[in-house]
Structure 1
Amino acid sequence: MPEETSSQIILDTYLGRSFIMDRFATQIQKKGFVNRILIIGQTGVGKSSVVNLLADEKKANVSDAAVGCTFSFDSYHVMHNDQPYELIDTIGLNEGSKGKVIQKEALKKLITFIKQNKRGFNCVLFVIKKGRVDDAFEKNHYLFYKTLLQEKIPAILFVGHCEQDEPMSAWYLQEENVNFLHPYHFSQVVCSTALEGGRFAEQIKPLREETRTNLWKAIVDKMLDKPIPVEADLNMIKRLWNGVCDYFGFTWKFVTDQFKSFLEYLRL
């Protein structure tokens, strides 16, 4: 096993972050890894609510803001059926950030995301709101799932804000939505609700419990037995970055070996 993914390095990483729990330490020492779930979605689609739902407690701050910092990510540690999981919540490409993202900062955050997640993932969870699927979703799927993860791990789609549908899976039962999602090859689609708080909290509570049960079942059933490490070489990073440039209209696009020199110039 490569040095950076050894169980001792992983354990030291968790200890250094000061959020280790006994169960995490035990699993790392016994198996050499912790189950890691990558959660991808734009700001405002309900990712934080999904994190809190899976954790069954408030872990992430919920915000309706339409903008976010591209490639920023947070890690949350939860237990399910006495097993530890790490949830990695990342914004990815964000529709509301167009025209507001600084090229250099976006590139640095992309490299940081890759470096700090070399341990890989057991599965990826895409989060969207019921309704129109925009260009950011399609580009995130291409950049993260097809390019970075090379389609090696299962992908699950969570469609939120379905609390008024009967059944909540009604959105996915529509032929046009089935046909639209077919090319993405999701292992499972979960249509439900992760809404929390508000004046209708008590009425929605049973639906949240149903959602938690269904979503955890999908994750446990579909995820791999161990995370597949992220192996991003220079060419892959270049493809990722050029895709970001296409999306945001950046001018720092590279088609030659000058990309390596540019990264060295930025000290990345």
Structure 2
Amino acid sequence: MKSKGKVILFGKTGSGKSTIANALVTGNEGDQVFGVSAGFRGCTSSLQTASGRGWEVVDTIGLGESTTGTVSSEDVENMILEFLKNVKNNYSHIIYVKSGAERFTIMDEKIWAAFTSVFEGAEESFIVLITHKNQRWLNTQWDDGSLPKWIRDLGKNRVFITSLPPVDEDEETEKEYKIIRDESLATLEIELERSFAEREYKYSSPTINQMNESQLR
């Protein structure tokens, strides 16, 4: 199958990153390839990678407060170093996933600032993907200036919306949810294709690709 692109996803724990990753790779069908992150603790790697349906997807560790308490500075330093070494690559899309079910906080802004710094040099690939919302919501939020400045600075054409409800055990409910998931995934892929085509399908190369381990520290 023709390659559609290489995507890396990042965001807070519970943002829906793994759901998006699974949808792109499996098309909402079959086994779930990406597991749900529980934060820093209990994770043996800072990212997971899988390919399917023409997509190569990198799902990074969920960021935010650990579910098991305080994370030591040494753990954080080692995790960040491992992360930086592992994400050195070229990407078609660098996506910050934000749950629309939660309000925007200073934590979102800090995570966004950190990752834009990590992926300096690949700004043309940056996208914000808001889950659990629809286009009407985005239009309203954009027009009345409700979205934070760091999102508005990116530009509306690089803010995507999706809604991928989880599989439901109730058969009738699941029929409705599957229709929503399929339509939402199709729309998301159209938007990803459009943004990539606007750059003539050129992959972005972050500055860290040229850095050695001592420079990363």
**Shorter-chain TM-score range:** 0.7 to 0.9
The alpha-carbon deviation at position 77 of structure 1 amounts to 0.8
> 1:148-227 to 2 correspondence within 5 Å?
148-162=119-133, 168-174=134-140, 175-178=144-147, 180=149, 181-185=151-155, 187-198=157-168, 199=170, 200-223=173-196, 224=199, 225-227=201-203
Structure 1 Cα separation of the partners of residues 67 and 207 of structure 2: 28
Q: Structure 1's 103 and 227: CA in aligned 2 closer, same or farther, altered over 3 A?
A: farther
Say how many residue pairs are matched. 198
Q: Structure 1's 143 and 62: CA in aligned 2 closer, same or farther, altered over 3 A?
A: closer
Q: Structure 1's 187 and 114: CA in aligned 2 closer, same or farther, altered over 3 A?
A: farther
Q: Which runs of 4 or more aligned residues in structure 1 lie more than 6 Å from their structure 2 counterparts after TM superposition? A: none
RMSD: 3.1
Q: Give the letter aligned to residue 135 of structure 2.
A: S
Structure 2 Cα separation of the partners of residues 103 and 113 of structure 1: 15
CA deviations over 1:27-57 (Å, ceiling 9, x no partner): 7xxxxxx932110111111111111211213
Query: Relative contact order, CA 8 A, sep 6+: which one is greater?
Result: 2
The alpha-carbon deviation at position 97 of structure 1 amounts to 6.2
Q: Is 1:141 aligned to residue 112 of structure 2?
A: yes
Structure 1 Cα separation of the partners of residues 202 and 15 of structure 2: 28
Q: Which moved more, 1:129-138 or 1:42-51?
A: 129-138
Task: Provide the TM-score with structure 2 as the length reference.
Answer: 0.75
Q: Which moved more, 1:146-155 or 1:51-60?
A: 146-155
Structure 1 Cα separation of the partners of residues 58 and 157 of structure 2: 19
Secondary structure in structure 2 of the residue aligned to 1:153 = helix
- Does the 8 Å CA contact 2:46/2:79 hold for their aligned counterparts? yes
- Does the 8 Å CA contact 2:127/2:159 hold for their aligned counterparts? yes
Q: Structure 1's 127 and 68: CA in aligned 2 closer, same or farther, altered over 3 A?
A: same
- Does the 8 Å CA contact 1:38/1:88 hold for their aligned counterparts? yes
The alpha-carbon deviation at position 179 of structure 1 amounts to 6.0
Structure 1, unaligned stretches of length 5 or more? 1-22, 28-33, 163-167, 239-262, 264-268
Structure 2 Cα separation of the partners of residues 229 and 190 of structure 1: 22
Structure 2 Cα separation of the partners of residues 109 and 187 of structure 1: 33
Structure 2 Cα separation of the partners of residues 95 and 125 of structure 1: 21
Q: Is 1:54 aligned to residue 27 of structure 2?
A: no
Q: Which has the larger radius of gyration?
A: 1
CA deviations over 1:169-216 (Å, ceiling 9, x no partner): 132122233464312446422222112212432212111111111111
Q: Decide which of 73, 94, 104 is 2:74's aligned counterpart.
A: 104
Task: Provide the TM-score with structure 1 as the length reference.
Answer: 0.62
Q: Structure 1's 116 and 96: CA in aligned 2 closer, same or farther, altered over 3 A?
A: closer
Structure 1 Cα separation of the partners of residues 206 and 105 of structure 2: 26
Secondary structure in structure 1 of the residue aligned to 2:204 = coil
The equivalent of 2:55 in structure 1 is 85
The alpha-carbon deviation at position 136 of structure 1 amounts to 2.6
The equivalent of 1:120 in structure 2 is 90
